[in-house]
Structure 1
Amino acid sequence: MNRQSLLIFLSVFCFTILNAQTKVSGIVKDNSEKTVPFANVVFANSTTGTTTNEVGEFYLQAEENYDTLAISFLGYKTKKIPLKSRVNLNMEITLEEEASKLDEVVIYRGKTSKKNNPAIDILKKVWENRRQNGVKAFKQYSYKEYEKLEFDLNTIDSTVIKNRLFNGMEFIFDYADTNNVTGKTYLPMFINESVNRVYGDNQLGKKKEVLLGNKNSGFSQNRNLIDFVKDIYDDYDIYKNYIKFFDKSFVSPISTTGIDTYNYVLSDSAYIDNKWCYNIIYYPRRENELTFRGDFWVNDTTWAVKNINLETSKDANINWIKQVYIEQDFKVLNDSVFLITRDFFMADFGLNKKKGSRGVYAKRTQLFDDYKFNNPRPESFYQEQVYNPEAQAYDRSDEFWEENRLEQLNKDEKGIYIMLDSLTKTKAFNRLYDLATIAQSGYVEFDGWDYGPVYSTFGFNDVEGIRLRFGGRTYFGQNDPWRIEAYGAYGFEDNKFKYGVSGKVLLDARSRLILSGGNRRDVEQLGTSLTNSTDVLGRSLASSSLINVGDNDKLSSINLSTFAIEMEPLKNFTVRLGANYREIKPASPEFSLDYYVDEERTIVDSEINQTEISTILTYTPGKKVSGYGVERNVVNEEDFPSLFLNYSLGVKDILNSDFNYKKLQFYYNQPLLIGGLGRSNLSIEAGKTFGEVPLGLLSVVPGNQTYFALYNAFATLNFYEFVTDTYAAAHFQHNFNGRIFSRIPLLRELNLRELVGIRGVYGEISEANKSIDASGLLLRAPDSEPYFEYSVGIGNIFKILRIEAHFRGNYFEIPDARSFAITADFGFHF
């Protein structure tokens, strides 16, 4: 079939399946050929409409048939255009100025006044009455929530259809449709429906969601993808100063800070659901900031928002997102309370923001109904369960969905299930799916086990030279009750084979009772973290860095065996009892861990054998997980605080163990989203070792001799530059998300982001621990004053690169001290 025949076929097909829709698109200009941004575009005699964007363009779609389009804006005559067909695209519309009102009306194109502006007067009324609206007006509440998530490929055209990538999957294009916000043709690839009952108590400050049903198609076994889709959408409140999604804080147009960020224009007034409402158009005062444009309707007696739509500015400093569109509808419960009934959120993902570029839509539709109020429940009702598989919720009948959907699926949405179920049975799709899974997880899937992670296959260090690694894990499903992981590695410089193996089993799902154990024999850069890791297979990037600053020969050979039992008595609170045995010795002749074994300091040993028993408490309030197997997927990564407390006991003579000691460690990490100022992260570490121990068991202040960012390490410190038995450290980093650069001409177009940081550590080392050391290293601690360094950097370079310059603050007198360092970090961030 040639291109012309294909387009004719698709046109006939689309007309056939969409014959109950009206679609229009185009651009609005004035008599001088200037575009008219933020003009109202509606189907005549309806409430279905939109506004033109910053360059006067619009797209509007409705399920019903309409024959007239009305376009209006302050200072112009309303223009009505007959629609000759159900699809009218690429229209050019010219508005005429309304001369009789030019003396009365100010036509706003740039910044609007903050004084004597009726739109801002109305906005102030909204602020005064905002606490009286919604479920917050009641002591207790509950409601039913229906949620529909969908992923779509967009900008489907003939070049996509004929692409060899889709050989064997051509039937999927029969299900293509047109997006009612952007006007792009899209192809559904994933759909997930859920029904929840939500309970809340404003007096107790508690909220609970009970999953009644869940249904999906497309990637139903890929838990990571499903969780990613759900984590896109944070709960947001338009009445708050900031609306958060994609780890960014956008200024809300309803907020008290809005008048410094947006221009407001009182555009219209009309009855909506028998309530007189005012229409206010808003748009950003400045470019490149995290802002919206759109309009909202406000009731004239309760001063509550009846309807609002928000569309991100095209130049907003956010990666991989071409557009975000939000629409919320509220209903009147009584004269003083408005409740949300519908919330629609759509994100247009793309590699760039060019108008015709292809990408993916992520859409969420939420509907709310069956509100009930002031039914108190005991506080115990809101206690979150540690074990909550809700297996029955994932196997609901068709009758359940017919009864509980608050909005029935349209014909195209029903077809998604059929198309996706057929798609997953094709070999061509499964090949693409496997490639995407490898890129996302790092593992190559086989029947019952996975090979990987593939990103660890290659490494290099001064001891091993070129290092090759291969490994894998068992994997039968996302809720496996047990898992085994193993790897092998070989260094071509030391000609030695290394390995690691670990396993864990879930004994009781309700208490999350897990047994785990493993053994690892490998080369490792010790002292890259103050807080001990319990991961037997863990390995620091510093152990395999391709490029280093100075010599990187202070590596150790370690033989580590661990056994632990852990449980979760309360939600997100874990108790772990463990034991480990370590054999530590230098991995190269240039490095020594020697220590004296007699009081006369005449006998030296170069290997440490140590048995240790530990009790670890971990608390992560606000962490969201999915699944109920031995390993669960964290949904909101880096979005919650973490607290860690470890008490370890070194026991001498058990398994030839060498030392008695006690060690106490504390760690606290807190991500901070500071409104429009960006995102920060604060971490605090403290610890003390009681008893005499050699260098290999002391707390080394983590230096970084690589050119890559290492978490909670000091970039201008060399390895083993500071050694302590008592320490306290703090790290603070802030990302302004481009707030400063967005105000600088030329720079604003690059969407760069400003980074600042400061970190410091204070520590001591006892004379007793110094006296048993025979390594030849000069053991010093930052005890005269805290060591500190600070950094400045630029992020979002080419959207994936962050470069930071680090400056040492003191202790310049130390031999080979580095006063300056550069680190880089790669990653995909919004």
Structure 2
Amino acid sequence: MKRILIPIFLLMVAFSYAQTKVGGVIIDEAGVTVPFANVLFKDSQEGTITNDDGRFYLESDTTYPTLIVSFIGYETQEINLSQKVNYDMKITMVESSEQLKEVVLIAGKQSKKNNPAIDILRKIWEKKRRNGLSLFDQYKYDKYEKVEFDLNTIDSSVIKSRVFKGLEFMFKDLDTSRITGKTYLPIFLNEKFSKVYGDNILQTEKEDVLGSKNSGFENNQSITAFVQDMYAEYNVYNNYIKFFDKSFTSPLSKTGIDVYNYALRDSAFIDNKWCYNIVYYPRRKNELTFKGDFWVNDTTYAIKNINLQVVKSANLNWVKDVYIEQDFDVLNDSVFLLKRDYMLTDFSYSKKEKSRGIYGKRTTVYDRHQFDQERPRDFYKTESNPFDPIVMTRDTTFWTNNRLESLNKDEKGVYQLLDTLKTVPKFKSYYNIVSILGSGYIEVDKWNMDIGDVYSVFGYNDAEGIRLRGGARTYFGQNDLWRLEGYMAYGFKDQKGKYGVSGKWLVDKKSRLIISGGNRRDIEQLGLNLTATNDVLGRSIASSSVFTVGANDRLTNINLSTFNIEMEPISNFRIRIGNSFRTLSSALPDAFSLDYVDANAAGGISSEIQQFDVNTTLIYTPGKRTIGFGVERSDINDDYSTLLLNYTRGLQGFLESDFNYSKLQFSYSQPWVLGGFGRLRSTVEVGKTFGEVPLGLLNVIPGNQTLFSLYNTFPNLDFYEFVTDTYVSVHLEHNFNGRLFSRIPILRKLDLREIVGLRGVWGELSDENIALNAPTNIPLQAPNDKIYYEYSVGIGNIFKIFRIDFNFRGNYLDAPEARPFSVTGTFGFNF
């Protein structure tokens, strides 16, 4: 999960307009809670469903005197409401023999036949491709979106805590959520207005953002990137609804009858259309499912309204509740268009009822539709810049004319009170702490500089011993057109200083023409990637890992200079042309040498490589979304594929370069979301080196002697165990997201996730290259007899942050000091 840069120490004023509020728990005669029971105000369509613990909350702007509680198998209850606010209600359901007979027909896990709700569901599948925008060749509409974050479960202990001392004015007025009944304090608001154009014949769509406005965080694109990644677009008609990097089975899915129970609850006229009301809830716990209900038209079988709430038992971290509402407008007798989409997320460490957290709320409104206005294909290729200063600084008149839904009182207060908060020193301190933890940099505004990154200060390896590093970068804003960055480091064992410096400049925004260059002198663990490093500031975890397996003494002194020109002629297609000059030598010659045969050297052997290379790289990332328009942009999704083609040409003699050679490499990485079966990562890479080159320029199969699980490496290989000049490698890793463990009663409540991996590589090393590198003091071998492979099984989500992998070596077990088994792990904050 991306680092979340959402400061949670801000403010707001709010007011409660609701006239009727009810909340409590529903139990049966034995005192056992009743999940998924129906709760609604009498003579209305306003209702909800109890959660996994039988609890509910419901409110309305209208005053209602009676509450209706029902569930299949129980007598329907009518509860008189003596006052407008009724909390902590305890309602006991009584079994009904007559209603229990209905379970056989339309609910439960016993039979899916003769169920009118499922008959209607099949009609929805049949008609879903003939609904909404898909009915038209072309379409255009206005789209207004607002995203809000709130602190929730505010009580006197929070207000009086030391954290908020001096900030008590933030809590002058508090509101309660109409979904959960909790008090909340709005702290962040983002608005965006766009025009969306689409062509169903060309199968293309584009969105022009005309206005964007953040409350108090105008320059913090990290917040906006996180919001866009978290609240990606979804379609309830799809078989799976994806958010938080998880795929939830849609209640309208064709696999829904195997995942959900359905029951026909009601029918009524809505906007002069006769509609059926169907309730659904999951068949099993711990799966990524919803509970809720939907209204569907009786002739078009188009959805008129749908509510989805993630079940409490779902295997989802840091999220206690997710609630979605979608309303569809009746355009004419046969067309239903999405009118309003509302999503509320309750972020919290614990799923306990009284735990505190943060609400994330997104409201999207669609209006002013136009159809069948054909536009040329080139029209859809041009993209607007959502972070253009003009877009980010629209005036009040613009927002008055284009807000498709007015701000309420508490939302208006966010803009007003954040201006006040930014002048409060204590708030500024809190905000700075959160920014440092999220970005890794300490901002020094008066120097237009950032100090960091703070996560790279300490390191250790066999050559340097304890290592300290400090760095800085220029920073005028997140859309800087140029940036300088550098670091210095010192090893206490070798008593040597190291450094790296780089600069980059965005020459042309439209083509994203970037000129960059830099120099680095440091110690590096090479061989963690099949492609040679040209990063003058990056550093692998193996180079600084405190704990390793076996001897970690195959380190390299590197002096690297680079110059590159990069451009993006079309979206997500980059062309990079550059050159590099590197000098390589062993950092520990007694344990590891880079020696090679050199007739021109004294003794016929050289221990240092000097090499000038010219590189051409093509990178295509279809589906990748980014944020910002400066020289550095942030990714806002990770579900895109990457195709990379790299050609390297070594030029002997130029700048006393040692070797003539060519190297061609291609890689293809693709994440696969396999619906309810989890997520698969795959990478295929091939490469070949033409010509004779020393060990430092060959392709080392990426071993891994650290204790960390590193994708695209082989954890049971030592560094430099396999060396090739021709190779093919495949890496597969599948995360089932708890689908298997959720079926095991003992493990179900632990929310563990199962991961399996398979990786293999074949390669060869020519006789000429073996002869050239004969003086090295390590064995040179390639996996050419048979494909070298490993497999692994892992358990993730241990205490929500840890993952452990058990790795097994499949063959080449007779190699000296071969490691047939290893245990690696990692940690992170993932949904």
Aligned-partner Cα distance in 2 for 1:250–1:559: 49
Name the counterpart of 2:239: 241
Name the counterpart of 1:628: 629
- Please give the secondary structure, in 2, of the residue aligned with 1:26: strand
Question: Partner letter of residue 728 of structure 1?
Answer: V
**Distance verdict in 2 for CA 1:563–1:411, change over 3 Å:** same
Name the counterpart of 1:266: 264
Task: Check the 8 A contact 1:262/1:285 in 2, yes or no.
Answer: yes
Aligned-partner Cα distance in 1 for 2:691–2:385: 41
**Greater CA drift, 795-804 or 330-339:** 330-339
Name the counterpart of 2:743: 743
Name the counterpart of 1:581: 581
Q: Deviations over 1:462-520 (max 9, x none)?
A: 11011111111111111111111111111111111111111111111111111111110
Aligned-partner Cα distance in 2 for 1:792–1:193: 44
**Greater CA drift, 318-327 or 271-280:** 271-280
Q: Unpaired runs of 5+ in structure 1?
A: 1-12
Q: Does 1:135 align with 2:136?
A: no
1:387-406 map, 5 Å: 389-406=387-404
Question: Partner letter of residue 233 of structure 2?
Answer: D
**Distance verdict in 2 for CA 1:450–1:105, change over 3 Å:** closer
Q: Deviations over 1:701-760 (max 9, x none)?
A: 111111112231111111111111111111010001111111011111111111111111
Name the counterpart of 1:672: 672
**Distance verdict in 2 for CA 1:54–1:821, change over 3 Å:** closer
Aligned-partner Cα distance in 2 for 1:82–1:393: 52
**Distance verdict in 2 for CA 1:97–1:745, change over 3 Å:** closer
Name the counterpart of 1:7: none
Aligned-partner Cα distance in 2 for 1:254–1:746: 31
- Please give the secondary structure, in 1, of the residue aligned with 2:222: helix
Deviation at 1:445, TM superposition (A): 1.1
Aligned-partner Cα distance in 1 for 2:646–2:435: 36
1:92-491 map, 5 Å: 92-95=90-93, 110-111=108-109, 113-385=111-383, 389-447=387-445, 448-491=448-491
Deviation at 1:87, TM superposition (A): 2.1
**Greater CA drift, 312-321 or 379-388:** 379-388
Name the counterpart of 2:617: 616
Deviation at 1:126, TM superposition (A): 1.2
Question: Partner letter of residue 527 of structure 1?
Answer: G
Deviation at 1:101, TM superposition (A): 6.5
Task: Check the 8 A contact 1:143/1:197 in 2, yes or no.
Answer: yes
Aligned-partner Cα distance in 1 for 2:77–2:738: 41
Aligned-partner Cα distance in 1 for 2:435–2:73: 55
Deviation at 1:40, TM superposition (A): 3.0
Deviation at 1:221, TM superposition (A): 2.2
What percent identity do the matched residue pairs reach? 58
Question: Partner letter of residue 467 of structure 2?
Answer: R
Aligned-partner Cα distance in 2 for 1:340–1:36: 33
- Please give the secondary structure, in 1, of the residue aligned with 2:157: helix
Deviation at 1:435, TM superposition (A): 0.9
**Distance verdict in 2 for CA 1:117–1:612, change over 3 Å:** same
**Greater CA drift, 334-343 or 70-79:** 70-79
Task: Check the 8 A contact 1:753/1:794 in 2, yes or no.
Answer: yes
Aligned residue pairs total 816
Deviation at 1:79, TM superposition (A): 4.2
Deviation at 1:39, TM superposition (A): 3.2
Name the counterpart of 2:691: 691
Aligned-partner Cα distance in 1 for 2:488–2:17: 61
Q: Does 1:791 align with 2:789?
A: no
Aligned-partner Cα distance in 1 for 2:78–2:428: 50
Question: Partner letter of residue 498 of structure 1?
Answer: K
Question: Partner letter of residue 795 of structure 2?
Answer: I
**Distance verdict in 2 for CA 1:74–1:269, change over 3 Å:** farther
Deviation at 1:582, TM superposition (A): 0.4
**Distance verdict in 2 for CA 1:824–1:620, change over 3 Å:** same
Q: Deviations over 1:186-233 (max 9, x none)?
A: 111110011111111111110000112111203332211121012112
1:56-95 map, 5 Å: 56-74=54-72, 78-95=76-93
Deviation at 1:325, TM superposition (A): 0.8
Q: Deviations over 1:385-431 (max 9, x none)?
A: 38664332222221221221111111122112112222222111111
Aligned-partner Cα distance in 2 for 1:186–1:777: 64
Deviation at 1:589, TM superposition (A): 2.8
Deviation at 1:535, TM superposition (A): 1.8
**Distance verdict in 2 for CA 1:249–1:102, change over 3 Å:** closer
Deviation at 1:113, TM superposition (A): 2.4
Name the counterpart of 1:6: none
Q: Does 1:828 align with 2:829?
A: yes
Aligned-partner Cα distance in 2 for 1:804–1:357: 32
Deviation at 1:273, TM superposition (A): 1.4
Asked which structure has the greater RCO (Cα within 8 Å, sep 6+), the reply is 2
Task: Check the 8 A contact 1:148/1:364 in 2, yes or no.
Answer: yes
Name the counterpart of 1:775: 776
Deviation at 1:108, TM superposition (A): 7.8
Aligned-partner Cα distance in 2 for 1:36–1:714: 50
**Greater CA drift, 21-30 or 127-136:** 21-30
Question: Partner letter of residue 760 of structure 1?
Answer: G
Question: Partner letter of residue 607 of structure 1?
Answer: E
- Please give the secondary structure, in 2, of the residue aligned with 1:746: helix
- Please give the secondary structure, in 2, of the residue aligned with 1:425: coil
Deviation at 1:688, TM superposition (A): 1.1
Deviation at 1:111, TM superposition (A): 2.6
Task: Check the 8 A contact 2:265/2:279 in 1, yes or no.
Answer: yes
**Greater CA drift, 68-77 or 154-163:** 68-77
**Distance verdict in 2 for CA 1:407–1:553, change over 3 Å:** same
Q: Deviations over 1:273-297 (max 9, x none)?
A: 1212111111111111111111111
Q: Deviations over 1:629-678 (max 9, x none)?
A: 11111111x21111111111111111111111111111211111111110
Task: Check the 8 A contact 2:106/2:112 in 1, yes or no.
Answer: no
Q: Deviations over 1:424-446 (max 9, x none)?
A: 22111111111111111111111
Name the counterpart of 1:541: 541
**Distance verdict in 2 for CA 1:98–1:685, change over 3 Å:** closer
Task: Check the 8 A contact 1:175/1:412 in 2, yes or no.
Answer: no
Name the counterpart of 1:715: 715
- Please give the secondary structure, in 2, of the residue aligned with 1:781: coil
Aligned-partner Cα distance in 1 for 2:587–2:53: 64
- Please give the secondary structure, in 2, of the residue aligned with 1:667: strand
Task: Check the 8 A contact 1:770/1:779 in 2, yes or no.
Answer: yes
Aligned-partner Cα distance in 2 for 1:527–1:825: 21
Name the counterpart of 1:528: 528
Question: Partner letter of residue 41 of structure 2?
Answer: F
Q: Does 1:657 align with 2:669?
A: no
Aligned-partner Cα distance in 1 for 2:384–2:22: 51
Name the counterpart of 2:5: none
- Please give the secondary structure, in 1, of the residue aligned with 2:331: strand
Question: Partner letter of residue 577 of structure 1?
Answer: I
Question: Partner letter of residue 696 of structure 1?
Answer: G
